[in-house]
Amino acid sequence: MAANAPIIDLKGIDVTFKEADRTVRAVKNVDLEVAKGDIYGIVGYSGAGKSTLVRVINQLQRQTSGKVTVSGQNMGALKGKALRQARTKIGMIFQHFNLMNERTIGDNVMFPLLLGSKLSRHDKQAKVDELLDLVGLSEKKNDYPAQLSGGQKQRVAIARALANDPEILISDEATSALDPKTTSSILDLLKNLNEKLGLTVVLITHEMQAVKSICNKVAVMQSGEIVERGDLLTIFSKPTQQLTKEFIETSSQIDAALANVVAQPSIQHLQANERLVVLSYAGASTDDPLIAQLYEQFKVTPNILFGNVEILQNTPVGNLGLVLSGEGDAVDKALAYVKEQGVTVRQISVAEYQAELARKAAEADTNDEGEA
Amino acid sequence: MTTILATDFWTSIMPNVVANKDVFIQSTWETIYMTLVSGIIAGILGIIIGIALVVTAPGGILANRTTYWILDKLVNIFRSIPFIILLAVIAPFTRLLVGTSIGTTAALVPLTIGTAPFYARQVQNALVDVDRGIIEAAEAVGASPMQIIFRVYLREALPDLIRTSVVTVISLIGLTAMAGAIGGGGLGNTAISIGYDRFENDITIMAMIIILAIVFIIQILGDLWARKTDHR
Ligand SMILES: Nc1ncnc2c1ncn2[C@@H]1O[C@H](COP(=O)(O)OP(=O)(O)OP(=O)(O)O)[C@@H](O)[C@H]1O
Ligand SMILES: [Mg+2]
């Protein structure tokens, strides 16, 4: 394997399920490259094909066509013992933990080591202790899964997944059954393992918050296809697809704030020289005193309505809702300047935006009736 | 206390039982022998068939439509034959196998054939209840089909397997009584050929009491064991 070749390389992956009455093409011609050390997020709504796609990586699901290369090995060509050997290098954790109920925590973590590991009995025990220590559950070694909380169970599952020192960890909705606090502690653990062990992580989720907190890359899936992908900052600051924007909105709540704003009378009756805008920025551009410049250079007065800033991968990413007012074409000039600084400007016509909201609400209503 | 244990007390309420004490001891052993031997053979067969049903079923770890279909139908057919008819139908086969169709050893053949399919279904149900996700997690860490069967399926389903085994052994004891009634020996034979045929009611009642005692002991021990292994 070339030094900088991706550790996971999916090429033209198609997965079709044939059933008596129908066929489902769950994954459609997907290419995906994950570099060593990535924490690669895959987001999408239920049924998008996320699980099917990642199960192809360790061949729990065979692809209908396409090529799967993991650590330089052509996975599709592996069978029997060779495939099982390759699987030991790909850990996996699940939404419902999937621990064995009749084995203690220690024995659950021991399980992968019972299958053909060459370690001595003593070394296996030491390995189990080390793993339980890593996930912070040493004192639970002799308990059974039923005695643990969800977050603790997931930690055990992580320890089990790491027993054979895998290079890759696949997490399929591993935090979806957990509360927000536990979720973030599990995500922190994954991030920690990524940094400490150089573990490559593929993180499936429908929560953008999870992606935001630990991923460096993200792919958005819809109906079996990856509709958008890229590094986290680009996706968050310059999403191009509607679905991506929707996912980002669920975590930033900008549209919710905007809807609130346009409902206010003072905004509904903006003067001719006033403009409602949302500025989105990522990284360096936020270091300049941009807002101050608006007034100093263009005599444009910014009235801040709402805003948020988040730190993604040590880079601030923010959204700011403003009403700008100035003489003549000052506002236009100011906005042109702002764009030059690498800030995305979204100008909002209050009337159009309200019409849009009304249309969406009507759509949602008919959907609800359709389902009822 | 002394009067209860005194022989004349028992002679007064169960005269025929006391007179046939040795017959009872022997037929109790015969019942235990038939239950134990046919239970072990049917148990092994049932576990093998039950596992095969689970792993070859669609979506199983060794999915195989044809094998599953054949096993499934065989189990259904044998489970549908009333035991009393099975006894008669397989008599020639029994004779071929053990040289006679009468006696406790001969009874082992129909008992085994009558019990194995029933137990196979019970085993199948217990194993199917093991969460598919647990099996998948084992596959993901590189477990082979054999390792999954022995280290996951049988291990995870152990409490249920103990419970269904108890049910099976109890129904097997019922079958031994029926086999006994047509010449297989054991407590069933004693109850019918001495108690019922000669109108010696105390014999029939005593046979029933001993069978109930055996059933209760198995039930209690089985429940304790199942509870001890269950950590869900
Ligand atoms: N074994 C299977 N047999 C038939 N259809 C399947 C199978 N597995 C998945 N599918 C179908 O493939 C599609 C994608 O399913 P998949 O589980 O990959 O989605 P997902 O994105 O993981 O969804 P979720 O968020 O609900 O887990 C769905 O339409 C599903 O019904
Ligand atoms: Mg899924």
Buried b (16+ CB within 10 A) or exposed e, A28-66: eebebbbebebbbbbbbeeebbbbbbbbbbbbbbebeeb
Q: What is the CATH number of the domain that holds A340?
A: 3.30.70.260
Does A246 map to a domain?
Answer: no
Q: A130-139, A317-326, A356-365, B67-76: which range is least confident on average?
A: A356-365
Segment B101-132, tens digit of pLDDT = 788 888 899 999 999 999 999 999 999 999 99
pLDDT range class, residue A98, cuts 50, 70, 90: very high
Does A247 map to a domain?
Answer: no
Q: What is the mean pLDDT of residues A69-96?
A: 95
- Asked if residues A149 and A186 have their Cβ atoms less than 8 Å apart, the reply is no
**Residue nearest atom 22 of ligand 1, based on CA coordinates:** A51
Does the pLDDT at position A353 exceed 90?
Answer: no
- A131 touches ligand 1 (CB under 6 Å): no
Residue B113 structural domain: 21-229
Does B225 map to a domain?
Answer: yes
Which bound ligand lies closest to the C-alpha atom of A206? 1
Does B143 map to a domain?
Answer: yes
Q: What is the mean pLDDT of residues A216-232?
A: 94
pLDDT range class, residue B191, cuts 50, 70, 90: confident
Shared domain check, A197 and A135: yes
Shared domain check, A83 and A57: yes
Does A1 map to a domain?
Answer: no
Shared domain check, A271 and A297: yes
Instruction: Locate the chain B residue with the closest alpha carbon to A159.
Output: B141
Sequential DSSP letters for A210-263: HHHHH-SEEEEEETTEEEEEEEHHHHHHS--SHHHHHHHHHHH-HHHHHHHHHT
How far is A162 from A183, CA to CA, in rounded Å? 19
Cα distances (angstroms) measured from residue A363 to each of A59, A260, B29: 40, 19, 78
How far is A100 from A57, CA to CA, in rounded Å? 23
Does B2 map to a domain?
Answer: no
- State ipTM: 0.85
What confidence score (pLDDT) does residue A357 get? 83
Does A41 map to a domain?
Answer: yes
Q: Output A283 or B94, whichever has higher pLDDT.
A: B94
Instruction: Locate the chain B residue with the closest alpha carbon to A60.
Output: B140
CB proximity list for B123: less than 8 A, separation 6 or greater: B46, B47, B49, B50, B51, B161, B164
Per the CB < 8 Å rule, is B142 touching A101?
no
Shared domain check, A51 and A190: yes
Instruction: Locate the chain A residue with the closest alpha carbon to B133.
Output: A98
Q: What is the mean pLDDT of residues B90-108?
A: 86
Provide the 10 A C-beta neighbour count for residue A197: 14
What average pLDDT does chain A have? 89
Q: What is the CATH number of the domain that holds B224?
A: 1.10.3720.10
pLDDT range class, residue A369, cuts 50, 70, 90: low
How many structural domains compose chain A?
Answer: 2
What confidence score (pLDDT) does residue B32 get? 92
Q: What is the mean pLDDT of residues A234-256?
A: 83
Structural Rg of chain A based on CA atoms? 25
Three-state DSSP at A179 gives coil
Per the CB < 8 Å rule, is B142 touching A115?
yes
Question: Which of B141, B228, B231 is the best substitution to test chain A (most A C-beta atoms within 10 A)?
Answer: B141
**3-state per-residue secondary structure call for A288-345:** CCHHHHHHHHHCCEEEEEEEEEEEECCEEEEEEEEEEECCCCHHHHHHHHHHHCCCEE
Shared domain check, A221 and A174: yes
What confidence score (pLDDT) does residue B23 get? 84
Interval between CA A93 and ligand 2 midpoint (Å): 12
Shared domain check, A307 and A220: no
What confidence score (pLDDT) does residue A3 get? 62
pLDDT range class, residue B4, cuts 50, 70, 90: low
Does the pLDDT at position A170 exceed 80?
Answer: yes
- A267 touches ligand 1 (CB under 6 Å): no
Residue A91 structural domain: 8-237
Nearest to A98 among B137, B151, B159 (CB): B137
Does B184 map to a domain?
Answer: yes
Does B13 map to a domain?
Answer: no
Shared domain check, A343 and A194: no
What the block records as the tokens of B230 is 């269950």
pLDDT range class, residue A372, cuts 50, 70, 90: very low
Does B117 map to a domain?
Answer: yes
Does the pLDDT at position A327 exceed 90?
Answer: no
% of chain A residues with pLDDT over 70? 96
Segment B38-59, tens digit of pLDDT = 999 999 999 999 999 999 999 9
**Residue nearest atom 31 of ligand 1, based on CA coordinates:** A47
Structural Rg of chain B based on CA atoms? 21
Q: Is B134 on the interface with A (CB under 8 A)?
A: yes
B151 chain-A contacts, CB cut-off 8 A:
111, 114-115
Cα distances (angstroms) measured from residue A95 to each of A178, A204, A296: 9, 10, 54
CB proximity list for A8: less than 8 A, separation 6 or greater: A32, A33, A34, A57, A69, A70, A168, A200, A202
- A56 touches ligand 1 (CB under 6 Å): no
DSSP B190: I
Shared domain check, A159 and A49: yes
What confidence score (pLDDT) does residue A224 get? 95
Q: What is the mean pLDDT of residues A197-201?
A: 95
- Asked if residues A40 and A202 have their Cβ atoms less than 8 Å apart, the reply is yes
Q: A157-171, A190-204, A356-370, B9-23: which range is least confident on average?
A: A356-370
Domain boundary among A205, A237, A269: A237
Domain boundary among A194, A211, A237: A237
Q: Report chain A's terminal Cα–Cα distance, integer Å.
A: 54
Does A3 map to a domain?
Answer: no
Q: What is the pTM of this model?
A: 0.86
Shared domain check, A97 and A140: yes
How many structural domains compose chain B?
Answer: 1
Q: What is the CATH number of the domain that holds A123?
A: 3.40.50.300
Per the CB < 8 Å rule, is B156 touching A81?
no
Which bound ligand lies closest to the C-alpha atom of A207? 1
CB proximity list for A89: less than 8 A, separation 6 or greater: A70, A71, A164, A165, A166, A167, A168
Shared domain check, A257 and A228: no
Provide the 10 A C-beta neighbour count for residue A194: 20
Does A245 map to a domain?
Answer: no
What the block records as the tokens of B15 is 């005269």
Does B29 map to a domain?
Answer: yes
Shared domain check, A294 and A322: yes
Does the pLDDT at position A236 exceed 90?
Answer: no
Shared domain check, A221 and A302: no
Domain boundary among A237, A261, A280: A237
The alpha-carbon gap from B28 to the nearest alpha carbon of chain A, in Å, equals: 37
What average pLDDT does chain B have? 90
pLDDT range class, residue A25, cuts 50, 70, 90: very high
Does A244 map to a domain?
Answer: no
What confidence score (pLDDT) does residue A1 get? 52
Does B3 map to a domain?
Answer: no
What confidence score (pLDDT) does residue A2 get? 57
Segment B169-186, tens digit of pLDDT = 999 999 998 887 777 788
